[in-house]
């Protein structure tokens, strides 16, 4: 299925499948259904770090309940003041409408079995508005699915709050493989052309190494790559670097790298040079396997006619890893990648030696 740019540019986009949240979804769904079958609307507050998928989760869950029961569903972005009017109508016990769509007044006896699914995105858990909505929701058959920043849960007054909430569901971070799957899903949904699997793996490696395993960052990188892909250009590893470095904590300060090179064994510098040369000629290649490194290194030893240096391969690789110029992939520890452009490394080496 290809949806187009909305899949990455619409902040409230609901993915056709919420990947790797099966367990959490099952728990949340069963909880809500339990409330429905007992005519008692239960609410859920979903928390987690920024960009982990809280909005997507509550929205997706809301859609599932809507589809299963045919209940109306309303999405409310709590930062939009227009939407607050709608919530005030709920609190005031009035019949409410939402962006032109008349939503039935659920408290009406006639609609006793009907529930409204109310998705509240990014609520302030301590606000009186939220408290009142929760209170009123019980009287009016409203199932509230709210998302909230994890930071708010660390406040001292949290224990008071906790007593008032039916269920707090905390979303944990994804494993690298899960994050890769989510990024790949989004590429397939949004991009007009295919992107090399290694390029997607590279994006995931960078996010996992230099940020936190959260999809908001990898999707932000996709947003920046999109204009190039839309114009039909093939996405290279270098494009990923250009589009992601300012988002991530990557070392690319000339002086620091220069200093690191100066303090290295000559063999390590020469190996790095070989790698950089190899990669600079293959713009779609992100990784070098250990075997490839070894071949390059042995070639180098032959060139400098130093048979004994062959025994130093592991040491050289270790030195490059320690100086944070070379990195191991989270997907396979026999695969290595660079974070700075190979041409940049070649220029620096040229400048020093």
Interface positions with Mg ion (CB under 5 A) = 54-55
Q: Does 50 bind ligand ATP (CB under 6 A)?
A: yes
**Dihedral angle computed from the Cα positions of residues 203, 209, 215 and 218, in that order, rounded to the nearest 10 degrees:** -30
User: Which residue in 44, 55, 125, 244 binds ligand ATP (CB under 6 A)?
Assistant: 55
User: What's the CA gap between 286 and 9, in Å, rounded?
Assistant: 26
CB of 211 to ligand ATP, least distance (A): 13
Q: Does 20 bind ligand ATP (CB under 6 A)?
A: yes
Q: Which is nearer to ligand ATP, 53 or 342 (CB)?
A: 53
CB of 117 to ligand ATP, least distance (A): 17
CB of 252 to ligand ATP, least distance (A): 26
141 sits in the region (left: phi over 0; alpha: psi -120 to 50; else beta) called left
> Which does residue 342 bind out of ligand ATP, Mg ion, none, counting CB within 5 to 8 angstroms by kind?
none
Q: Which is nearer to ligand ATP, 229 or 316 (CB)?
A: 229
Contact 57, 24 (CB under 8 A): yes
CB of 220 to Mg ion, least distance (A): 14
**Dihedral pair phi/psi, residue 186, rounded to 5°:** -70, -35
DSSP string, 268-327: HHHHHHHHHHHHHT-TT---EEHHHHHHHHHHHHHHTT-SGGGGGHHHHHHHHHHTTSEE
Contact 308, 220 (CB under 8 A): no
Interface mask toward ligand ATP for 195-224; x: CB under 6 A: --------------------xx--x-----
CB of 10 to Mg ion, least distance (A): 13
User: Which residue in 35, 41, 48, 62 binds ligand ATP (CB under 6 A)?
Assistant: 48
Q: What share of the chain is helix, strand, coil (3-state, %, to 5)?
A: 55, 10, 35
> Which does residue 213 bind out of Mg ion, ligand ATP, none, counting CB within 5 to 8 angstroms by kind?
none
> Which does residue 247 bind out of ligand ATP, Mg ion, none, counting CB within 5 to 8 angstroms by kind?
none
- Give, as one character, the DSSP assignment of residue 152: G
Tokens of 88: 């005030």
CB of 305 to ligand ATP, least distance (A): 54
Residue with token string 């008071």: 160
Number of residues in contact with ligand ATP, rule: CB under 6 A? 21
Residue ranges that bind ligand ATP, judged by CB under 6 A: 13, 15, 18-21, 48, 50-56, 122, 147, 182, 185, 215-216, 219
């Amino acid at each position: 299925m290809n949806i187009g740019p909305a899949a990455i540019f619409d902040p409230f986009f609901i993915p056709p499948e919420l990947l790797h949240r099966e367990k959490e979804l099952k728990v949340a769904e069963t909880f809500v259904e339990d409330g429905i079958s007992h005519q008692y609307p239960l609410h859920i507050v979903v928390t987690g770090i920024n960009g982990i998928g809280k909005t997507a989760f509550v929205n997706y869950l809301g859609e599932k309940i809507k589809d299963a029961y045919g209940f109306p569903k309303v999405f409310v972005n709590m930062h939009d003041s227009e939407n607050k009017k709608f919530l005030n109508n709920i609190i005031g016990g009035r019949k409410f409408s939402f962006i032109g769509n008349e939503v039935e007044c659920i408290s009406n006896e006639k609609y006793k079995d009907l529930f409204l699914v109310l998705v509240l995105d990014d609520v302030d858990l301590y606000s009186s508005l939220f408290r009142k909505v929760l209170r009123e929701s019980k009287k009016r058959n409203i199932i509230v699915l709210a998302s909230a920043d994890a930071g708010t849960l660390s406040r001292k007054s949290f224990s008071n709050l906790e007593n008032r909430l039916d269920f707090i569901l905390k979303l944990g971070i994804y494993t690298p493989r899960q994050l890769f799957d989510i990024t790949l899903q989004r590429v397939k949904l949004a991009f007009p052309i295919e992107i090399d699997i290694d390029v997607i793996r590279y994006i995931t490696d960078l996010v996992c190494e230099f940020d936190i395993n959260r999809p908001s960052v990898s999707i932000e990188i996709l947003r920046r790559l999109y204009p190039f892909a839309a114009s039909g250009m093939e996405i290279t590893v270098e494009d990923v670097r250009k589009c992601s470095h300012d988002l991530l904590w990557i070392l690319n300060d000339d002086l620091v790298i220069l200093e690191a090179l100066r303090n290295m064994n000559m063999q390590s510098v020469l190996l790095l040079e070989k790698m950089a040369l190899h990669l600079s000629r293959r713009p779609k290649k992100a990784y070098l396997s250990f075997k490839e490194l070894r071949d390059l290194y042995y070639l180098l030893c032959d060139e400098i006619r130093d048979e004994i240096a062959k025994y130093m391969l592991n040491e050289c690789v270790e030195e490059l890893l320690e100086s944070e110029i070379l990195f191991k992939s989270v997907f396979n520890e026999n695969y290595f990648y660079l974070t700075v452009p190979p041409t940049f490394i070649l220029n620096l080496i040229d400048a020093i030696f």
